[in-house]
Structures are given as C-alpha cells and as structure tokens.
Homo-oligomer: A and B are copies of this chain.
Amino acid sequence: MADIARHVGVSRPLVSIVLRGVDGASEETRRRVLEAAAELGYRPDSLARGLRSNRTRNLGVVFALRRPFEVELVEDMFPVVEELGYHLLLGATTPGRGQEAVIDELLRYRCEGLIVVGPELHGHRLDPIVEEVPVVEVGRSVTRGPVDVVGNDDALGTRQAVDHLAALGHRRIAFVDGGANPGAEDRRSGYRAAMADHGLAREIRVVPGGYTEDEGAKAAQTLLAERLPTAVIASNDLSAIGLLDSMLRAGVTVPEELSVVGYDDSRFARLPGIDLTSVRQDIPQMAQLAVHAVVERLDLSPRAPKKVALPPQLVIRGTTSPPRPERAPELGAR
C-alpha cells in the first residue's frame, strides 16, 4: 500500500480510503490509485486489516469434514455469508481435532461469530465462548444459555415416518437407534411418541445401532434373530443402508417383507439401486437461518435467544410399501 502511495504521490491513508471504497477522495485520485493498485498487483492484507480495524467480518463455522450432511450445510452458507458482507472461516473437525481445538483456532483468527454444527460440547464448556462471541448451534434441540439454535425437528421426522408406515398398514415398526449421535435422541423419542399415538405402544421396539453402515448391519442381525417386524425406521441413511444390505443377503425382500425408512435424504438415499424412503431436512434453509442468527447478533442489538426447529419432510421412495397380509391367527391377537 505504501508502494501505491509513493507511486501515485499521495499519502497512505488516502490510498486506504480509495481501496476501501469509502468516500473522502476525489474522482481523479480514486482513478489513479486504483490504476496503480492494479498495476502493482496489490492484494489487501487481511491480517493487518483485521488487527487494526478490530473488525475482521469473519464468521467461523465448526463442522465435521466426514459428515456429508454438515459439509452440504456449510456449502449452502457461503452465498448467505457473502451477501451479508462477511467471510466464512472453515473450522473442520477431524478424528484428531475436536470441536474445542477448532473453536480455539477460529477465535485466534478473531472470528466475530461462531456457527457450531452438530455441537458436541457440554453446555458448560461452551459457556466461556458464548461470552466472547455470538454462537449459533445447528442441529441441537435443547441448550442452555444465550445461544441461538437452528435445528431440524427430528422428533417430527421420525413421527412422519411412523405416520407413513402406519397409514400403509404397518403395526410392528422397529427403530434402529442412533446412540449418542447428533439428533439421535429426538429421533428416538419422536418414534416412541408417534407409536404411542397410533395405539402401537406395545409394538415399540428400539434396537441398538448407530450412524454407520456397520451398526445398521448389526441391528439387522439383532432383528433377524427374533421375529422380524414388517417395517424398520433407521436413525440415519447409512445405517439404513447397512441394514438393507444385511436383510437382502438374508433373503428378506424389501419392501415386500420389510419396509425400510432412512433419515437425512442424503445422496446415498437418492442413489438409484438404493432408492430409500427417507426424511429430508431443509439444509439450505438451516444454513440461511444459522447465518442470519449470528449476523443479527453482530449487527443488531442483543435480543432473546432464538430456537428454531424446521419441519422435515418425508421423501417416499421404493423401500416402503404396505405389509404383506399377516397370517390369519394374527387377526385375533391383540
């Protein structure tokens, strides 16, 4: 920048004024400065700028690089963030780098706000951070403190799955649990509540599982060892796919003998050859709400924490159909 100033024959601050596009410089100066900048290949220094101005306009987003759902969410944040005049700083968690380390790194870069996708931190560990910068959590249903939360109504999602299956005539609907993964708890409770509402409380069956194909396959083994239900809701797509495979290998036809529903409507579910009925979350909207929530706290005055749970949508594909007629004696059973 000093180069430009010397080149044009003006002072450094004046160059700064021109390059920032604020007013306080004559058209003539402006033109000559911009010309020189282009000629000299000037590139603004974000470090110096952030340091001096105390305003980086950086938003940090913490997410897991290995969760396609979160990656997609982040991708959808970019246009929103840019439009609001901010930059997105990616804080990727990996098996060797937890959320805490990532958040710390983002704050060292003076992020002004933080979007935490799939929060894993216990409330009190997040507390000191929340006092420093606005935080929005994406994908957690309940939290403490002045934190905005944007989530998916996971309980409603599994409820929709149960409704769909019940409408098809299913009664024995099992659920493959997601353990401690993000959203798993709500998905489980939504299943339980919906089953009860359909008068199927006695049919509730929660099988231990997880968010991976292996765990889905294991759940399938559990189900195969006992009396098979007529339908299964898995707590995410991957476990549904693992389960699907084990079932097919065991000679169970889908959807004739067993209907299967996944959760996430990921690319995997849409894959021809899988064609999985699944619960879709509105990812673009979650991205937009999350970004707006942080920016509002930054640009506007403080306000009460906002907790949003978006309604998901069941996407019906080829893995669900009415159950086979039960054997006669079943009629009498209650």
Contact = CB atoms under 8 A, between A and B. Distances in A.
Interface of A: 41, 43-48, 50-51, 56, 65-66, 68, 71-72, 74-75, 78-79, 82, 87, 90, 92, 94, 96-97, 104-105, 107-110, 128, 213, 217, 241-242, 244-246, 248-249, 267-268, 271-274
B274 A273 contact: yes
Copies of this polypeptide in the complex: 2
Contact of A75 (B45, B48, B65): B65
B272 A109 contact: no
A47 B43 contact: no
A173 B105 CA distance: 51
Nearest to A275: B245
Contacts of A246: 272
B107 A43 contact: yes
Contact of A94 (B44, B78, B87, B109): B78
19 contacts: A43-B104, A43-B107, A43-B108, A45-B108, A47-B47, A47-B110, A65-B71, A65-B75, A66-B71, A75-B92, A78-B97, A213-B272, A217-B272, A241-B272, A242-B272, A245-B272, A249-B272, A267-B268, A271-B274
Given A50-B47, A271-B268, A68 B68 contact: yes
A109 B65 contact: no
Contact of A51 (B48, B87, B245, B267): B48
A38 to B, nearest CB: 13
Contacts of A109: 46-47
Contacts of A245: 271-273
A94 B90 CA distance: 13
Contacts of A71: 65-66, 71
Contacts of A268: 267-268, 271
